[in-house]
Structure 1
């Protein structure tokens, strides 16, 4: 009986989403760990960028909560190195910075979301839940489907994206956004619907981030000499539809 109980407890632990908290403030790490564990998440901690990179390269995480300012190098640099190594785990950056240029820098590094200090723990937990929901909905499955339009091909099982045979690397959020548009091509997707679908019901923040991600997607999936794919419907939203040939 004891062996069965141990096995059940192990299975419960295995089902817990795994969170890595990266911050040089030990009090903040302990606070976040306690709040996340109270929500049923398993946590581990890292105090600097080097330790974080070691952990993300050796362990499968469901989410990394990453402070911008670290003693060795910035959280943005950590994220950039993760993405260049092919690590696609979602990253939520904590930052005291609120400048638009710095938000863009964080997104350019491959971050999926960020939250500005000081923040409420309720907002952070809501963002965590929303990110995990998106990851769950779009997790790879053996029975994935293939979606295509205008030479663009997405395999939802392997999460591979290509256009005209050329592989395209997307961040987790870029992939979610593309999938949202590609599941219903030739239809207008209102901005608020896209935000709710991709960022979650409890999205907090500037919806101009949607325009930033649309710009990123266009750079990656639209090629010179090929029809454009992502169309802007002014005042409404966006749609995926073959358009004029891009010069």
Structure 2
């Protein structure tokens, strides 16, 4: 698996490079936003670790630029920013996840593994007029392809695989995010809003319902 690290602090980038290479990943480095965007859009990577505060071009703009070219590659923000508004800004900008500095390498490694995880189950999943091809990592609605981010894809697959069951926000955080500690479950709503928008679903749609104060259910 090839990972691009866009980080201007040499100590952090070298530490991550060494640790991830020891885990078997192939690592490329960029030290500013322009360089990171150029590498990300002109090369094939499986995941991007992106610092928010970068010289020449802010991480959020790098993220948006990458998303214009690649809708599915997982992008994880490495950031000291941790307010809800900043988190939402990053997610709306196309990020799949974020990890707050300072962080443990073990936590980062687990987050990366989550995004590389292959979904179990049938190769083709269906929900109303939505079809999900797990093998090809494609989603179709009314036979028209819809492009979701990796995290959005994983969340939609989880709801479909648990069709007919109420999935609480806590369950989603634990089963999809693989996070078993206190975490702001409000980010799930951000992802669900994005999924509904891309699939042209209303909050009242029977396909995926919001259970107020609890979570979601796919029917």
1:75-90 → structure 2 map (5 Å cutoff): 75-90=59-74
CA contact (8 A) 2:72 2:147 kept: no
* 1:23–1:66 Cα contact (<8 Å) kept: yes
User: What aligned pairs does 1:134-145 form with structure 2 within 5 A after superposition?
Assistant: 136-137=118-119, 145=123
1:197 match: 175
Query: 1:158 and 1:178 mapped to 2: Cα distance?
Result: 15
Long gaps (5+) in structure 2: none
CA RMSD of aligned residues (A): 2.3
Larger-gyration structure (1/2): 1
Matches within 5 A, 1:164-175: 164-175=142-153
CA contact (8 A) 2:115 2:150 kept: no
Cross-structure match for 1:229: 207
**1:109 & 1:56 partners in 2: Cα distance?**
16
Cα distance change, pair 51–175 in 1 and its aligned pair in 2 (3 A) = same
Instruction: Check if 1:97 corresponds to 2:75.
Output: no
CA distance in 1, matches of 2:218, 2:21: 40
Normalised to the residue count of structure 1, the TM-score between the two structures is 0.78
Partner of 1:154: 132
Q: Distance in 2 between matches of 1:85 and 1:205?
A: 30
Query: Which whole-Å deviations, capped at 9, do the CAs of 1:122-179 have from their partners, x for residues lacking one?
Result: 322222222222xx337xxxxx733222222222232222322343221111011001
Report what 1:57 is aligned to.
Answer: 41
Task: Check the 8 A contact 1:127/1:203 in 2, yes or no.
Answer: no
Residue 178 of structure 1 pairs with residue 156 of structure 2: yes
Equivalent residue in structure 1 for 2:141, among 153, 163, 167: 163
Alpha carbons 1:18, 1:43 under 8 Å: kept: yes
Unaligned runs of 5+ in 1: 1-16, 139-143, 242-247
Q: Secondary structure at the match of 1:137?
A: coil
1:209 aligns with 2:187: yes
The farther-off stretch of 173-182 and 116-125 is: 116-125
User: SS of the counterpart of 2:176?
Assistant: helix
Q: Which of 1 and 2 has higher RCO (CA within 8 Å, sep 6+)?
A: 2
Q: Verify: 1:38 aligned to 2:16, yes or no.
A: no
SS in 1 for 2:70: coil
Cα shift readout 1:15-65 (whole Å, capped 9, x = no counterpart): xx2221111111211111122223332211011122222222333222211
Give the 3-state SS of the residue equivalent to 2:136 in structure 1. coil
TM-score by length of 2: 0.87
Partner of 2:114: 130
